[in-house]
Amino acid sequence: MGANAEIKGLKKLDKAFNKFTQSFGVKATLAEEFEAYVGTNEIGYTIFCSDLCNEFFLENAEARYPEIRADIGLWLLMHEIGHIKTWDMWSKDEQEYFRQYTDEEIPEIEDDATRYRTYHNAPIEYMATKWAGDTMMREPAKIAKRWRKLQKAMMEFYRVNNLIN
């Protein structure tokens, strides 16, 4: 796809993401990465996901919930919803501390593995993953059904944009 190429099916894909997230009272918008806009009911999602941080995230999630068989996309989506659902459990001072800790202190850690493991074990990250894992354990059939529908929409998006055959 060139710089001026048309992206087909984006509205349909966005609708599919929102159908999944709205069941949790959360709105989803296309973003550069999976992220939560804490203090709102909105998350960002991406359609391409590959980075070292996510590998450590999945390692952490699977170690905490070995009984859950989910791919990284579902884990990331549920984790970001988890940020929205758990944000109000923290005091304003804790929220500010976590933002400063994850945005300023953790990035100063030079070793990638140590930095990412520290990040994913920070209380705010830990609780978002806990919410995600607990919710997937509590409602496995419902979430699996929603995820299959979303995956189908994602695969169609890839096909109409000639990203896969």
Asked if residues 72 and 49 have their Cβ atoms less than 8 Å apart, the reply is yes
pLDDT at residue 29 in the model = 96
Beta bridge partners of 37: 42
Q: Whole-angstrom Cα distance, residue 154 to residue 61? A: 23
Q: Whole-angstrom Cα distance, residue 98 to residue 14? A: 30
pLDDT at residue 55 in the model = 82
Q: Which residues of the chain have pLDDT under 50?
A: 1
pLDDT digits (tens, 9 = 90+) for 34-64: 999 999 999 999 987 666 667 889 999 999 9
* Predicted structure pTM score: 0.91
Q: What are the helix (H) ranges across 87-139?
A: 92-100, 112-121, 123-138
For 36, phi and psi rounded to 5 degrees? -105, 140
pLDDT at residue 4 in the model = 53
Q: Whole-angstrom Cα distance, residue 49 to residue 67? A: 23
Q: Whole-angstrom Cα distance, residue 153 to residue 80? A: 20
